[in-house]
Amino acid sequence: QQQVKQSPQSLIVQKGGISIINCAYENTAFDYFPWYQQFPGKGPALLIAIRPDVSEKKEGRFTISFNKSAKQFSLHIMDSQPGDSATYFCAASWDGTASKLTFGTGTRLQVTL
């Protein structure tokens, strides 16, 4: 049972454009929604995260938009750069000392010149 659905599977964006990746979740108990960035051959690294008490969180060029009623959240990368080319994973978990993350299947982003 896939509890976090991510789309698109791959994305090509021109330099300077906006990259948008979407995720939908099923478990209403989830209350922590991070995005991870992974470069080839490396482990994922936390990019930005949000809790459902806010509808948007921005850190630099990266923004998470959250829609609790629709059970959806998305990552927006403004002014996309070639260095942003990576695989992005959304995830979700519920609060706890050792909460487990449920990951989406990933989006491979390529930013072209």
Partner 1 sequence: DGGITQSPKYLFRKEGQNVTLSCEQNLNHDAMYWYRQDPGQGLRLIYYSQIVNDFQKGDIAEGYSVSREKKESFPLTVTSAQKNPTAFYLCASQGLSSGNTIYFGEGSWLTVV
Q: Give contact residues for partner 1 (rule: CB under 8 A).
A: 6, 9, 32, 34, 36, 41-46, 49, 89, 93, 95, 97-101, 103-106
Q: How far is the CB of 96 from partner 1 (least distance, A)?
A: 8
| Interatomic CA distance for residues 64 and 98, integer angstroms | 23
The smaller minimum CB distance to partner 1, of residues 11 and 101, is found at 101
Q: How far is the CB of 83 from partner 1 (least distance, A)?
A: 19
The smaller minimum CB distance to partner 1, of residues 67 and 99, is found at 99
Cβ contact 104:89 at 8 Å: yes
Q: How far is the CB of 7 from partner 1 (least distance, A)?
A: 12
Q: Give the distance, in angstroms, between the CA of residue 20 and the centroid of all CA atoms in the same chain.
A: 9
Residues facing 73 on adjacent strands:
23, 66
Cβ contact 12:110 at 8 Å: yes
